[in-house]
């Protein structure tokens, strides 16, 4: 089944609860939550207190993407505030295997991601430890950027590696996805779609429905 994970980064923060209720009711299966620390990426977004407070707004899966240095320091805090999936950057961890294992031990699904200029070979050793691989199709740090077309090849290569090794991890794609390119991402092998501005610009419920029809 293909899954939509709207990114709250583009939501209207002054009515976050209403925005989450709208995407939930319209059928989005996940809620994508981008945490930025001003170190791994230049921007700072939001963290544990916000996630804890919105946890009561929905029962949907909280898909937490940590754009932070040394995320192992905080994985327990994110698990405690309601994360169901925690994604860490291969570039941000001193010990990637230990970080993924720490997430697993907390009863949360571990996932790994890589920046657009990081080769697939960097994540290959960890594919047997993760429930999901996130392919960043923009440079992480901000919503509203243009999809990098080479990301489709990356998705295909990761899908091939997973299949060859009989691994069943999901493939998520994040950055610049809209109703014009979502089909290409799915056809390349992604099964979880993150969309921020294409969902929250305009009527979020209507936009979720349009995505779901195409998926
Ligand atoms: O991780 C992100 C940025 O680092 C966002 O999730 C991503 O960019 C989604 O926003 P949009 O769909 O507007 O590109």
What the chain holds in terms of domains, given with CATH numbers, is 3-214 (3.20.20.70)
Q: What is the largest CA-CA distance in the chain?
A: 46
Which pLDDT score, from 0 to 100, does residue 209 have? 97
Which atom from ligand 1 is nearest to the alpha carbon of 178? Answer: 12
Burial class (CB in 10 A: 0-12, 13-18, 19+), 143: buried
Which pLDDT score, from 0 to 100, does residue 76 have? 98
Q: Which one is catalytic: 34, 37, 63, 170?
A: 34
Q: Which residues pair with 65 in a beta bridge?
A: 34, 87
Pairing of strands 132-136, 192-195: unpaired
CA–centroid distance, residue 167 to ligand 1 (Å) = 27
- Mutational test site, ligand 1, from 35, 175, 179, max ligand atoms within 8 Å of CB: 175
Alpha carbon dihedral 161, 164, 169, 170, in 10-degree steps, equals 70
Residues of the chain with pLDDT under 70: none
* Vertex 157: Cα angle to 155 and 158 (nearest 5): 65
Q: What is the ipTM of this complex?
A: 0.95
Which pLDDT score, from 0 to 100, does residue 79 have? 98
* Vertex 66: Cα angle to 147 and 87 (nearest 5): 80
Which pLDDT score, from 0 to 100, does residue 135 have? 98
CA–centroid distance, residue 7 to ligand 1 (Å) = 7
- Residues 140 and 41: their CA atoms lie apart, in Å, by 7
CA–centroid distance, residue 114 to ligand 1 (Å) = 14
- Closest CA to ligand 1's atom 6: 7
Feature table: binding site: 7, 32, 34, 65, 174-176, 196-197
What region does 171 belong to: left with phi over 0, alpha with psi -120 to 50, or beta?
beta
- Residues 36 and 71: their CA atoms lie apart, in Å, by 11
pLDDT digits (tens, 9 = 90+) for 78-122: 999 999 999 999 999 999 999 999 999 999 999 999 999 999 999
């Amino acid at each position: 089944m293909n899954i939509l994970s709207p990114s709250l980064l583009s939501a209207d923060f002054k009515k976050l609860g209403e925005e989450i209720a709208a995407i939930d009711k319209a059928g989005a299966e996940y809620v994508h939550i981008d945490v930025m620390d001003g170190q791994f990426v230049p921007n700072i977004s939001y963290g544990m207190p916000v996630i804890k407070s919105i946890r009561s707004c929905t029962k949907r899966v909280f898909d937490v993407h940590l754009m932070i240095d040394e995320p192992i320091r905080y994985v327990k805090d994110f698990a405690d505030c309601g994360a169901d999936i925690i994604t860490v950057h291969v570039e941000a961890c001193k010990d990637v295997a230990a970080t993924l294992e720490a997430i697993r031990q907390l009863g949360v699904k571990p996932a790994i991601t890589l920046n657009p200029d990081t080769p697939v070979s960097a994540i290959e050793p960890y594919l047997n430890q993760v429930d999901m691989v996130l392919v960043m199709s923009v440079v992480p740090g901000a919503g509203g950027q243009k999809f990098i077309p080479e990301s489709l090849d990356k998705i295909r290569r990761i899908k091939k590696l997973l299949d060859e090794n009989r691994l069943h991890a999901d493939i998520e794609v994040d950055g610049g996805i809209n109703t014009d390119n979502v089909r290409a991402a799915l056809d390349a092998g992604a099964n979880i779609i993150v969309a921020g501005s294409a969902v929250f610009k305009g009527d979020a419920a209507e936009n979720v429905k349009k995505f779901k029809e195409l998926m």
